[in-house]
A and B are shown apart, each in its own frame.
Chain A
């Protein structure tokens, strides 16, 4: 296990390095500079500004400087918001985005698995059809469409919930609903199909032949085996939810990372782009790593390292 984690750690570092490099060169290949809009007629000021942000130096020097900043995790000040460092922006925005993302994941996983399980247990019954109808709608409707519909109906027309911003648990309901519906539908469909397969397995018949309670048969014997595909897509789904938060944050005026991220790209705010990209990719890579670890716990046949056979 330890060997596996160490190996994985170095692979994570390599992945992040590749992402950082790609981001850096892509960013520099976009035409324009952070000072385009300011129309400073004074070339001295322009030169001084560029010098301050080290933009006057050749690209490879900038690149090395950038790698250093990743290593020390200090991305310097934002160009557009000189009072804020990138780290400060991350510290302010990320917790909110994380909160939204995590609540979404939690809602999606719990409701998706529950829905899928009941659908499989009542295969071809009303619950099954209802759940799958919901799933098709959930997968087909983009979250930004759902978000506007939710705001219009629940917030504006019926006045049940606050339409925007992020200050109380009540404010969390609409954005979470908008963001979680798609993943819930995907998880429900996946759980249902793999559950249906597991239910026909011999070991399920054997569990019934033991006279175990239906609860135990489903939770202990079926679900654990049925969840493998769900765990598999969790990694990529996480990426989807994280990027999905950008759009949802914008619609609901949530002061999360998404706002800064989009703004920084429009403004060519290099330190913010690079800082947030590297931070996000590091977070994602780490989550994927967690998913792999969870695999090992769910299915003992999956070996995370070579020497399990003699355990």
Chain B
């Protein structure tokens, strides 16, 4: 059952999506068949004064070459920890990978030592951070911040690195790149800085880009521009993107697939269309219902009642049980198995069980 969750996308499935989303026709016609990154049963914990926080409790997903996978969920669900674990940025010794693998093109990143990992960081996998106001070093010229990664990992001369950096600044939409190379971060606006952060991430031509809430700290108009930039870059370079966000609007715009995380687990994963139009997990449904809608008259937002579980002592069963309107006795005791709904769509929920369908009638 587990394996179906990660089965390659069916071509016919991709085909049907075209009618609904003509704007993304070109990309949709592509099928993503090469698994680039495979996260398997990842458990990550952090030691704190209050005890051990089980931030990730068995996260598994695949990422295909050239696709954009969005990881969504509320604060503290483990989205950023997932990104940091893949990137090798878990603070040690407080954080620990207790179990599981991160296979990047067949290589297990969790087994690499620090110096081997440095050859992956910024080269094969790059990361874009949430707040561009703090992600750039205030005391270094942006030219240096752009080129230092390249100069560390590849044998290029200063002028070559400079040329490449200038070209890249042009690509990400910075006017007068040559002048701008000599400036410091405080001389740029927030949107500009995020463009620079993106340029820095791209300088070594990585195959995977992990963007951790890349638009959260930006104005709405700038957000749209940055998202367009992501699409443009992906079209140009074929880079795979993991987009971590809690903003479903962002997801709707650029994701191919969506993974919904809750309390350190991926509870539903599927193509964007599947997750948006036929969400199966009650949490996913609640998440989608809580988005404000312009076409409905109701004035109040519909929040999901309650709070996520305490990850110091996570529940044995489904962590959403306490907040779930459909909770059954079994939910509290046993974590549900993964049910494959289609080749691409899978969910961890007891409601998928035949016996539950008898209880609730047609679901």
Contacts and interface: CB of A to CB of B under 8 A. Distances in A.
Interface stretch (B52-60, B121-129, B168-176): B121-129
Contacts of A216: 148, 152
B136 interface: yes
A300 B139 contact: yes
Interface string B87-126: 1010000000000000000000000000001111111001
Contacts of A202: 129-131, 134-135
B120 A211 contact: yes
A202 B194 CA distance: 13
Nearest to B179: A311
A201 B134 contact: yes
B11 to A, nearest CB: 36
A259 interface: no
Contacts of A211: 117-123, 149, 152-153
A212 B152 contact: yes
A128 B142 CA distance: 33
A206 B149 CA distance: 11
Interface residues of B, number: 31
A203 B135 contact: yes
Interface in A188-231: 201-203, 205-213, 216, 220-221, 224-225
Main secondary structure on A side of the interface with B: helix
Contacts of A221: 137, 140
Contacts of A205: 89, 129, 135
B127 A209 contact: yes
B138 interface: yes
Given A202-B134, A210-B149, A301 B184 contact: yes
A300 B184 contact: yes
Nearest to B183: A311
A298 B140 CA distance: 9
A299 interface: yes
Interface string B1-30: 000000000000000000000000000000
27 contacts: A202-B130, A202-B134, A203-B134, A203-B136, A205-B129, A206-B129, A206-B135, A206-B136, A207-B137, A209-B121, A209-B129, A210-B121, A211-B121, A211-B149, A212-B149, A216-B148, A216-B152, A224-B139, A224-B140, A225-B138, A225-B139, A298-B139, A299-B139, A300-B184, A301-B184, A309-B187, A311-B187
Interface of A: 201-203, 205-213, 216, 220-221, 224-225, 298-301, 309, 311
Given A203-B134, A203-B137, A221-B140, 18 more contacts: A205-B129, A206-B135, A206-B136, A206-B137, A206-B197, A207-B137, A209-B89, A210-B121, A210-B122, A210-B148, A210-B200, A211-B121, A213-B118, A216-B148, A224-B140, A225-B139, A300-B186, A301-B184
